[in-house]
């Protein structure tokens, strides 16, 4: 009964929905009116290269089977024959097959419907949207790596499943510290396991996230690990302290082994620094490493120590101020200067030699008491680092007998005392001394030449020597004549003029300085040919030179100063190392250096050398001269203007006060 009621309801509904043509004017139904069905638009989706069943739907208003026809075929696929719907008479089935991966993913076709041989409806459109066959990845297993020592590594397994309908293949890129397969391939329905390696390069937590398939949340791989220092080095910045007793500058590095097995450690450090090249630290223990500069190394130090162990590298910056200026009495060694026997009222001098064994400028004052006098009395003597100076001490005494006094030498925080002693004797009358006979050689061939009587103390120039028979040459005896004993030539007396060779040598020493021994020269290091000035200021300037073909391990900057050699009375140029400089960034093919701590309005004569790892030098660059500019000062006219203005103000105020413009309580 219920089934019949449903059939009657459907029939009534279909008749009520029938679309009829109405006559114009009265709106009444005619028996000749024809029903025209309606085809509906349909949409469907598909996977590239696959098939999909599509239902075609028409509004027919009857229970009779509707007829469907395809009007326009699809462009990127094919259609099967139309099939009646198994349950509904106003529907039909058709199958669409896509052409493949290379064909477009949007397609369409049209169809019409009719009932009982009547007219066809207007075309309806079937819209088809496709998508490629894609994999769908899912992470099944993710490892956790925990704490790993720097230089060590840990491994874990990752499982990936492909739940899609296409194979997955991707070239993998892993971030720093992580290593995995270069290519990952997973076929549809398969599960692939692959190994991941965690090797930390720095301490701290390391997290790596990557979506193996962008846009698919299930493919997100998250890796986590923590890098732990197996070797701990402290401090990271070490300052070497100066020991005034030993003259050594030193500091302590503390190394800690966090592993459960022994650790072998190597150290790399500059050539000036003294330290062990390697050591072994027991498990879970610490070791202290002594870094020091020898007492003979006095300039400022700034370098870097690299501590390495099993691929782990730690850097420590090491610095030290220059060794403080220190006065050393080189001569006399025992602190006593003996003038010996000195003639009364006769000026006599002796030398003392002072040296600055520190790395900073030393200002020295030499104090002597009568009758001894220093050549630098009342003046300050400047000693550069490593420089030696000779100081003359004069004696001119009126008293007789032993003369003993002290010479005080004050420099920096040190002081030296030299005991001066001499014995002064009376002035004695000159003694006559016989002059030895002079032997004159007469030329044998010139018998006609007049005889010449030689005179004592006078030598006469002769012609070019000839071959002479000594047996035929007579000797003329000369009677001894009384002569006065000549006084000894004082050390500061004018010297004889230099010959051409000596002049050339003196000029070379004054312009170039003493050459460096060949044992200190590395002939394989390229010479710097040109140094250019980049910038200059009152207290610094910047220079640059082209990098040589064979790059040295370091550079040495030298500046010139003049010193007088008391023995030869010559001025010799000396070259001293420059310590206050640093490299700055510049062109890749140039070395750019900034020289610091300079004096304003001063001229500096410099040159550059390369230094290899053994401490040997290249040939010096050509000498270049740089002058620092003068500092800015307030002009004199400005000071005078301010002074005149102030005086005018004072005069004006006094005039007002005298006139009674101001009242004072």
Three-state helix/strand/coil letters over 346-398: CCEEEEEEEEECCCCCEEEEEEECCCEEECCCCCCEEECCCCEEEEEEEECCC
* Closest residue by Cα to residue 627 from 539, 563, 555, 557: 539
- Look at residue 665 in the predicted model and tell me its pLDDT: 55
> Do β-strands 590-595 and 603-611 pair in parallel, antiparallel, or remain unpaired?
unpaired
Rounded Cα gap, residues 298 and 499, in angstroms: 40
Give me 424's structure tokens. 């002064």
Rounded Cα gap, residues 107 and 76, in angstroms: 6
Residue reference for tokens 């064994």: 357
- Look at residue 110 in the predicted model and tell me its pLDDT: 95
Task: State the pTM of this model.
Answer: 0.38
- Look at residue 20 in the predicted model and tell me its pLDDT: 34
Rounded Cα gap, residues 186 and 190, in angstroms: 6
- Look at residue 32 in the predicted model and tell me its pLDDT: 54
Residue 12 per-residue DSSP state: H
Instruction: Decide: 226 and 205 in contact? Cβ < 8 Å.
Output: yes
- Look at residue 498 in the predicted model and tell me its pLDDT: 56
Rounded Cα gap, residues 395 and 538, in angstroms: 45
Query: ∠ CA(511), CA(549), CA(577), 5° rounding?
Result: 35
- Look at residue 60 in the predicted model and tell me its pLDDT: 84
Domains of the chain: 36-131 (2.60.40.60), 137-228 (2.60.40.10), 231-320 (2.60.40.10), 327-425 (2.60.40.10), 500-627 (2.60.40.10)
Give me 161's structure tokens. 């499943």
Residue reference for tokens 């490892």: 143
List the chain residues with pLDDT less than 70: 1-34, 428-502, 568, 663-665
State the average pLDDT for the chain. 80
Which residues make beta-bridge pairs with 208? 223
Summarize pLDDT for 170-228 with one digit per residue, the tens: 898 888 889 999 999 999 889 999 999 998 888 888 888 888 888 888 888 888 898 88
* Peptide bond between residue 118 and the one before it cis (omega within 30 degrees of 0): no
- Look at residue 497 in the predicted model and tell me its pLDDT: 55
């Amino acid at each position: 009964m219920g089934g019949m009621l449903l059939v009657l309801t459907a029939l009534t509904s279909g008749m009520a929905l029938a679309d009829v043509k109405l006559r114009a004017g009265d709106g009444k139904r005619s028996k000749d009116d024809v029903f025209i069905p309606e085809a509906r638009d349909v949409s469907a989706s598909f996977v590239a290269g696959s098939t999909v069943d599509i239902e075609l739907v028409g509004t027919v208003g009857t229970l009779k089977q509707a007829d469907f026809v395809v009007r326009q075929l699809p462009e990127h696929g094919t259609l099967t024959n139309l099939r009646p719907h198994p349950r509904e008479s106003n529907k039909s089935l058709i199958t669409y097959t896509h052409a493949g991966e290379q064909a477009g993913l949007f397609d369409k076709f049209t169809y019409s419907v009719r009932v009982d041989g009547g007219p066809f409806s207007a075309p309806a459109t079937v819209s088809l949207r496709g998508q490629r066959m894609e994999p769908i990845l899912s992470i099944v297993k993710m490892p956790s790596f925990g704490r790993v020592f720097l230089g060590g590594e840990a491994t874990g397994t990752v499982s990936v499943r492909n739940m899609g309908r296409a194979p997955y293949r991707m070239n993998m890129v892993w971030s720093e510290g992580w290593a995995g397969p270069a290519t990952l391939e997973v076929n549809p329905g398969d599960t692939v396991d692959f190994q991941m390696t965690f090797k930390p390069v720095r301490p701290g937590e390391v997290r790596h996230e990557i979506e193996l398939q962008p846009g698919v949340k299930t493919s997100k791989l998250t890796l986590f690990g923590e890098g732990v220092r197996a070797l701990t080095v402290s401090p990271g910045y070490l300052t070497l302290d100066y020991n005034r007793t030993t003259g050594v500058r030193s500091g302590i590095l503390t190394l800690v082994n966090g592993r459960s097995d022994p650790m072998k450690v190597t150290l790399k450090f500059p050539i000036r620094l003294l330290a062990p090249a390697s050591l072994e630290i027991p498990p879970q223990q610490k070791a202290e490493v002594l870094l020091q500069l020898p007492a003979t190394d006095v300039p400022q130090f700034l370098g870097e120590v690299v501590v390495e162990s099993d691929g782990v590298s730690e850097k420590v910056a090491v610095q030290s101020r220059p060794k403080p200026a220190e006065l050393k009495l080189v001569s006399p060694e025992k602190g006593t200067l003996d003038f010996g026997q000195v003639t009364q009222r006769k000026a006599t001098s002796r030398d003392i030699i002072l040296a600055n064994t520190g790395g900073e400028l030393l200002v020295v004052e030499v104090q002597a008491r009568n009758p001894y006098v220093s050549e630098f009395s009342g003046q300050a003597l400047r000693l550069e680092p490593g420089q030696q100076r000779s100081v003359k001490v004069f004696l001119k005494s009126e008293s007789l007998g032993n003369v003993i006094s002290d010479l005080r030498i004050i420099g920096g925080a040190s002081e030296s005392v030299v005991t001066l002693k001499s014995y002064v004797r009376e002035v004695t009358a000159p003694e006559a001394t016989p002059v030895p006979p002079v032997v004159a050689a007469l030329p044998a061939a010139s018998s006609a030449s007049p005889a010449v009587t030689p005179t004592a103390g006078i030598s006469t120039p002769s012609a070019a020597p000839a071959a002479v028979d000594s047996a035929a040459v007579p000797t003329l005896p000369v009677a001894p004549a009384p002569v006065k004993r000549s006084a000894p030539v004082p050390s500061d007396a004018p010297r004889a003029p230099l010959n051409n060779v000596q002049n050339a040598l003196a000029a070379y020493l004054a312009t170039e300085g003493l050459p460096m021994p060949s044992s200190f020269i590395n002939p394989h290091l390229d010479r710097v040919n040109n140094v250019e000035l980049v910038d200059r200021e009152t207290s610094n300037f910047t220079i640059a030179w082209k990098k040589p073909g064979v790059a040295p391990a370091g550079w040495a900057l030298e500046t010139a100063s003049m010193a007088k050699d008391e023995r030869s009375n010559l001025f010799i140029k000396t070259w001293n190392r420059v310590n206050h400089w640093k490299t700055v960034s510049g062109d890749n093919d140039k070395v750019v250096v900034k020289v610091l701590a300079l004096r304003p309005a001063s001229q500096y004569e410099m040159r550059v050398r390369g230094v290899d790892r053994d401490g040997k030098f290249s040939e010096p660059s050509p000498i270049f001269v740089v002058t620092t500019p003068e500092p800015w000062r307030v002009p004199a006219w400005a000071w005078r203007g301010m002074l005149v203005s102030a005086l005018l103000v004072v005069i004006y105020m006094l005039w007002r006060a005298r006139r009674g413009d101001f009242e004072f309580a």
